[in-house]
């Protein structure tokens, strides 16, 4: 007889493997790039977000580049080819609304020059900048606890501009980017800014490092180093689907960085940030592993244009040995369901951040907790007032899994209390919501890059 848990897992997989619809290409002359993409790969690359699948399915839904003509199907192997496929000029590609399908083959490095040579942080630094000089000039013991200013800070800012031009890859509307097996985007940021209707699938994002972090002496009690570059940044955009990707710092984790001014020299920012009035985003079946800051939804506490925006769905993602912002939310109605949180380590801070005017609905998630982490650590009050939590299970270190009221657990150890009703009930969900105990089996098997048949 099949064990009950295995049977539940198989049922879950059959229910959840629901492909999006494929859109046939309109008639067009086949390009050399399109001829290089197998038909089966192209068919999957043209899949659209399934109906009802999270906030990105609201209204007109999300189709990405599904309507691309055959001359707008590209197979890319280098940074230069990726930029050309996105429109040809990285500075203006964000406005290129031509439907396009881009298939990534192999490793694309954001530090790669057009001639194929890899550039270094030294190559991108302004002639007037060096880290050694920066550390000497702005040491709090010398400079004090005020914001860096003057010629060295100006040189750092110019260096940041150089890196942004090199490693920030701008994506335009109506675009699908998918990876073949093993496809990796390393040392770069996909910037989806003012570019609605975008799909990103089956890619590994690795080490989007900042060569020139900024010292912020008033950030926290002792100051902090802050970096600029997310792995994916969604700004001023709608209808974005981020699916079956893996996010990692690879062999360059922040935990391995040196300490300057008594604080870790942090060279990475977020994995997937949704900010600056962006909305209608679905992030599904992704794997986030070994990172610090993951997902910021809303970048400011200022009441203004973000109100009524920042609507995001997170489902069937694996948060694996990650430390904070899983996610941290301001303002938005954010649906967090059927995710697996596998949390461990002395540096863990919190899972879900309840920020200003946020409305998070967290349902049927599963939390596996390592030594020293307890259920009351999973929420954090960043100025919010309420969060809805239903059907969530926790397996603490050395304990059996059990259902836990996350709000009650938080309130038992913290003041002021959080309310238990975020004021809305999600309706945009594709397929059945799994019982929390089944989530690790489904998500562990299917989340992340290289799980799609590519």
Catalytic residue of the set 75, 201, 287, 325: 325
Q: What is the rounded distance in angstroms from the CA atom of residue 222 to the CA atom of residue 185?
A: 34
How many other CB atoms are there within 10 angstroms of residue 100's CB atom?
25
Would you state the structure tokens that stand for residue 198, as one six-digit string?
A: 């975008």
Would you state the structure tokens that stand for residue 77, as one six-digit string?
A: 């192997």
Is 325 in the active site? yes
| 3-class state of residue 68 by DSSP | coil
**CA angle at 10 for the pair 8 and 11, rounded to the nearest 5°:** 65
Residues labelled catalytic: 325
């Amino acid at each position: 007889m099949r064990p009950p848990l295995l049977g539940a897992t198989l049922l879950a997989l059959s229910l959840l493997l629901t492909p999006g619809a494929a859109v046939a290409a309109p008639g067009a002359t086949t390009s050399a790039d399109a001829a290089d993409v197998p038909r089966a790969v192209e068919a999957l690359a043209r899949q659209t977000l399934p109906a009802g699948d999270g906030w990105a399915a609201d209204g007109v839904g999300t189709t990405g580049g599904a309507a691309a003509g055959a001359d707008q199907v590209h197979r890319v192997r280098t940074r230069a080819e990726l930029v050309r496929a996105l429109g040809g000029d990285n500075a203006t590609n964000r406005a290129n609304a031509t439907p396009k399908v881009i298939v990534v083959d192999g490793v694309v490095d954001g530090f790669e020059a057009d001639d194929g040579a890899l550039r270094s942080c030294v190559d991108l630094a302004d002639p007037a900048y060096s880290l050694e000089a920066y550390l000497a000039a702005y040491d709090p013991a010398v400079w004090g606890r005020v914001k860096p200013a003057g010629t060295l800070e100006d040189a750092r800012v110019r260096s940041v501009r150089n890196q942004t031009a090199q490693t920030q890859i701008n994506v335009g509307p109506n675009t699908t980017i998918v990876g073949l097996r093993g496809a990796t985007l390393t040392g770069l940021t996909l910037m989806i800014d003012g570019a609605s209707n975008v799909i990103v699938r089956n890619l590994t994002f690795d080490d989007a490092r900042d060569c020139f972090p900024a010292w912020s002496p008033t950030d926290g009690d002792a100051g902090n180093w802050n970096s600029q570059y997310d792995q994916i940044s969604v700004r001023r955009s709608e209808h974005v689907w981020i699916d079956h990707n893996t996010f990692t710092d690879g062999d360059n984790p922040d935990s391995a960085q040196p300490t300057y001014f008594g604080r870790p020299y942090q060279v990475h920012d977020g994995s997937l940030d949704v900010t600056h009035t962006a909305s209608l985003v679905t992030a599904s079946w992704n794997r986030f592993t070994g990172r610090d800051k993951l997902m910021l939804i809303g970048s400011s506490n200022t009441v203004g244009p973000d109100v009524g925006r920042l609507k995001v769905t997170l489902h069937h993602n694996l948060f694996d040995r990650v430390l904070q912002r899983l996610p941290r939310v301001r303002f938005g109605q954010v649906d967090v369901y059927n995710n697996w949180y596998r949390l461990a380590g002395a540096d863990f801070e919190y899972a879900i951040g309840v920020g200003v005017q946020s409305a998070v609905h967290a349902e049927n998630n599963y939390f596996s907790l390592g030594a020293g982490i307890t259920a009351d650590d999973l929420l954090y009050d960043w100025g919010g007032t309420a969060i809805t939590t239903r059907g969530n299970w926790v397996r603490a270190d050395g304990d059996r899994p059990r259902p836990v009221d996350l709000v009650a657990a938080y309130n038992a150890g913290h003041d002021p209390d959080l309310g238990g009703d975020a004021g809305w009930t999600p309706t945009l969900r594709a397929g059945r919501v799994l019982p929390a105990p089944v989530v690790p089996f489904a998500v562990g098997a299917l989340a992340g890059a290289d799980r799609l048949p590519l």
